[in-house]
Amino acid sequence: MADAPHQLPPYARSLGVVLTGQYEGEMPVLTVDFGPMVEGRPQHFHGGATAGLLENAGYAALRTALIAAGRDPKLKPINITVQYLAAGKSQASFAVGRITRLGRRNANITVEAWQTDRARPIATAVMNILMV
């Protein structure tokens, strides 16, 4: 189960997003199983559910980087751009974030989501988050 630094928000928990316990670099890999709660078109992920997974992985990466830096700011989303690359099929999806830049006030994060093949992302996101 998640330790305190990687506690996921209520929205993530109710959507069924969990930590896999695996890491890429130091960043936690998150996953969500396929099920009615994430289904859009029959047997496929809804784009909004995929975005929810990406966003949570982005925040988890940022919190990880901030803890490593000994910082504990309040986070405010500025924007997110999601690119959909391939259909999310009826199986688990995974996502991990990467900090492109950690500034004093702003963090720029890139997130990738995939299913069976890590090398073939189904969606990516770029997020800007304000830290106050």
Which positions touch another protein (CB under 8 A)? 7, 9-15, 36-42, 44-52, 55-56, 76-88, 122-123
Closer CB to another protein, 55 or 112, in the complex: 55
Minimum separation from the CB atom of position 5 to another protein (A): 14
Closer CB to another protein, 89 or 98, in the complex: 89
Instruction: Please list the alpha-helical segments (H only) found in 16-124.
Output: 47-68
Among candidate residues 39, 62, 63, the one with its CA nearest the CA of residue 109: 62
Among candidate residues 11, 17, 124, 68, the one with its CA nearest the CA of residue 2: 17
Minimum separation from the CB atom of position 74 to another protein (A): 9
Closer CB to another protein, 84 or 108, in the complex: 84
Q: What is the C-alpha separation between 17 and 53, in angstroms, rounded? A: 7
